[in-house]
Structure 1
């Protein structure tokens, strides 16, 4: 007779929890289609480099879809989070401007969505103080993302900001009363931390009034987007030089894709397990063209890697052409981009100040 180990039980519990999260996420999607006005979404990016095709296909396209469905959309330029695992901010101004251009070129509408940055919203960051009192050090050390980020630093000492990264993310979500957060399955623990903080705050300090808690309980909108790998078949990352940036021109894109990894079999088939590099290129072509990867593979047939790369290049460049044209226009109008960010920051500050006032009232710190 075998006995389940603690690891087995933990894995089973994790799988069951993920299944519940996935089921609830599907319910939320259906509720959005019925009445999107009930929802406010919070998502965003760290300005650590240019957005690339993986970002666009994995998250940015979906943000535009949610916005266009009528979900109130808040996009965070997480500039303070740049220094969680770095010694400096790098060319951050240039990257923030580029990020704004990427957002708007992809279809984010500043009239319907709020784009803001951490460092411009003091009240958001002030929420870190009461929130830190609601979590334990051991809870932070157990967070999977904190552990993964620590391993990625190569053994360097963990900064206090990296350790409290999940609490800062909770402040991002809770300050604007977001009730849905798009996440991948690996990011679900961060959202759980935000829910725990919201619950503990209400338990410890009560409510401002009897009708509602101070904070809504955010739920996961689980991303089922197919993961796009880099041109070398590994995770798409600027540091690996295997990305296709949204701001690249068509010729540069073609040059990068000509170097993409395939295999020695000239007959092209869609086999994610047996031929992952070839399958990844087919997937990219599919996501950009709308044609099934199997159909693309069948059309290429015995054309080999050269024909496959030509197919992918055409699909990517055709799909990104209007985005790139719009991005170029935006990059030539920096004043407009900064006005968009200024307006978003004003809106974020208004909401953050109101939330902080509620927090102080609940904590009886209004003197």
Structure 2
């Protein structure tokens, strides 16, 4: 099926695109035409997605990848010419990826994230205090979903929170599928320059934060430190912010599930996993390129061919998640692919879990009358972004 292309548009706010769901019903893997004309693959089955993401015969290197959609065609040459700082390890392979990952794994352990929980509670309660004081209606994204992870990652990295305005705007440009190449490169340049300057200041005046710790470790040069900081800063607030916004929207439209999250502490941990599975906000990729001929589920992926994994559809594969189109906070959800799989699985997943486990129940308990301030159809969705969610979530209480 070489006429299959990306992106695919969601017809309903929480469900994968109908086209992708129908593809999964027919088969678990499909031929896909990328924006530059390259014919590769799209994976819609759960088992096949895990197999691709775990297989050592696939590379994550950006310069070998074909752009998945037309709006990214003009970025290929610019990125290859200007690139991103070394240390931006999201697009690296072993042994380079292994080196960066090893340096950072100890910063994001379950134990360390547990130690952060009191501060996350403080930040969450402060946001709720401000919401109550201002009164409704409010945009939950601006008042709650964005500031919590943004402040947490700023404190963890050692980035002054008062500087957030520019890098939050630049983050939006970087994940917007419609941003022109020149604007993407300009945003990359601004964030890179800011972080490079911050690292210079921390060399002179180190503090008790992750970037200072990496500087003192002495294993990374300034460009690498800038790349690591860039990735953690952008990923650390874009992803969780959108899960908090979209997850709250999903709960508000599923009152029985909202009540369970609000009233039953035993539901919270598993409920967060179910929201991650059900919503799957990484809705374009991940993408890999075969470095050798690889056979997956009887399909031969030839060396050099691109493979895209459709996470929202794979996370609803009925062979792994029966009745997966239904939100059920009590569902056993172990093994979902919302954080990826294999060696590139999300480094900050324990931090994201901690933020969501605290934020959702706190919001729903503090504001028991929380409801949409507009009709569900009026909520603006982030269909134009690489990370799905809501642009705004007008609520009152």
The structure showing larger relative contact order (alpha-carbon pairs under 8 Å, at least 6 residues apart) is 2
Between Structure 1 and Structure 2, which shows a larger proportion of helix residues?
A: 1
Q: Which bracket does the TM-score occupy, shorter chain normalised?
A: under 0.3
Higher CA-based Rg? 1
TM-score (norm 2): 0.26
